[in-house]
Amino acid sequence: MGRRSIRVITAAVLVVLLALGSVAFAEPTEVQKLQEQIKALQEDVEKAGEAYSDAYWQLDQTRADMAEVDREIGESEARLSEVNQRLSERAVEMYRSGGADYMAVLFSADDFDEMLLRLEYVQRVSEQDADIIGAVKTVRAELDAQRAELASLEESQAEEAAALKKEADRIERELKAQQAEYDKLKKELAAAIAREKARTGTTTAKAGPNGMVFPVRGPNYYNDTWGAARSGGRTHKGTDIMASTGTPCVAVLSGTVRSKSNSLGGKTIWLTADNGWAFYYAHLDSYAVTSGRVTAGQVIGYVGSTGNASASAPHLHFEIHPNGGAAVNPYPYLRAMQ
């Protein structure tokens, strides 16, 4: 191969490498820059919300513990009532028989063999009395310990509630301060995506899994609390997305919605997507849509604290039910949507 051919090949390789380099190190698009700004803002909010989230879930766990101890106290009180009844019946029995004159019982026997039989009976009666008294003492001791534990938990609850209120006031100011910037960036992003699609027919905007849209349109923060203990022996079957009261909640996918109220979830919405998946929105402050067809990203309600949610902890309880079946952990899906 001649020198000229080598020079031509080398030049061609350089051109290819330069082209690849220009692709690899291409300047981010306006859409991508705006998405990164929104992501950075969200990360700032999440950092600010960590202390609040920890306080919220600590209080929630304490309340679940209190409910469990209260249930145990109820069981102990029922057992104590039962053994007290047995003890009362035994006392009445002894009173009616004129007391337990064990010596008279023994020495009134006609012969030695009958005395042995009566001795065995006396021992059994004594053991029975001892068992009943022992049971009463045991249950009372358990009950005293459980009541002491409940008192300690109530004291912790009061302290944790005060800490949560302090954190709630702080994070509420943080969220409201960030909301205006979030709305501004979202508006600019929508305009940039529209321009990009008009120019190229597509967009470089990052989309969530299967085109899912994050359900809360505003600054928020959340943790992976799947399976956390709840009152009544329940476990947490969703993700609580903490946000200011009135923050818009949007349809994750296109589909149909139906609204309903209940004591636990308060104002709720079920969204059945076109792909068969179902999504549950709970503790809404109010509805934007109560039934009918919606599109992905459309506002359907607003974050609140209805139902059994604390007024100091407004949030969206969000569940995902693939193909309309059992709930799965929404946390990894939510992370992928942002």
Task: Output the pLDDT for position 322.
Answer: 94
pTM for the model stands at 0.59
- Give residue-wise pLDDT tens across range 324-333: 999 999 999 9
How high does pLDDT run on average in the chain?
80
Average pLDDT over residues 79-87: 79
Summarised one tens digit per residue, pLDDT across range 253-271 is 999 999 999 998 999 999 9
The average pLDDT across 88-116 equals 61
In this predicted structure, what is the pLDDT of residue 313? 80
Give the least confident one: 2-11, 145-154, 160-169, 324-333.
Answer: 2-11
What is the rounded average pLDDT of the residues 202-220? 84
Cα(173)–Cα(307) distance, integer angstroms: 24
Examine the pLDDT at 98 and tell me if it is beyond 60.
Answer: no
Question: What is the tens place of the pLDDT at every residue in 224-240?
Answer: 877 765 555 567 788 99
pLDDT value for 22: 45
